[in-house]
Structure 1
Amino acid sequence: MTGTKVPASPDPDERQDPGEQLAAVVAMRRLADRIEDAAVERAMRAGWSWSEVAEALGVTRQAVHKKHAKRLIAAGVRLRRRT
């Protein structure tokens, strides 16, 4: 992935309440999941294979299929066969 940099060791503000920090982590995970769902659906509608999507996400084909196939089928997305 080009242009995306994540700090190796985030330095949270020690004055911030740990509960607030953890709530922020949960919110970011939920946002990341929604972004991933939309990106995977867009890729599959564009004709990408499970293998291509998996490689882009840095996971296995099986993992991406398990996570997204049921939702995509329910959304009416035409899925490609294994490549």
Structure 2
Amino acid sequence: MNGDELTSHIPATDPAIGLRAVGALHRLAEKVEATNVALARQQGWSWEQIGDALGVSKQSAHAKYGK
């Protein structure tokens, strides 16, 4: 299912449903990102490579996940 198909299932007249969906998507995206950053680090990726892949600076990537 692509984004357009998902959007068609969210009623445009109920912002509560749409906002809950947005929150769930944000949480899912954060989990997927964290999992893949950890995997990249295990495989020897540099913070610069991770930052480039995420579209952020290496400093931002390291600040968020380098703990």
TM-score (norm: length of structure 2): 0.82
Higher helix share: 2
Residues 6, 56 of structure 1: alpha-carbon distance in 2 compared, 3 angstrom cutoff: farther
Of residues 42, 50, 55 in structure 1, which corresponds to 2:52?
55
Output aligned runs, 1:1-83, within 5 Å: 13-15=11-13, 17-70=14-67
Percent identical pairs in the alignment equals 38
For residues 11 and 55 of structure 2, the distance between their equivalents in structure 1, rounded to whole angstroms, comes to 30
TM-score (norm: length of structure 1): 0.67
Question: Which ranges in structure 2 are unaligned for 5 or more consecutive residues?
Answer: none
Larger RCO of the pair (alpha carbons < 8 Å, separation 6+): 1
- CA drift of 1:63 comes to 0.5
- Listed one character per residue, the Cα deviations across residues 2-31 of structure 1 (whole Å, up to 9, x for unaligned) are xxx977xx776423x101100000000000
Runs of 4+ in 1 over 3 A off after TM superposition: 10-13
Question: Which ranges in structure 1 are unaligned for 5 or more consecutive residues?
Answer: 71-83
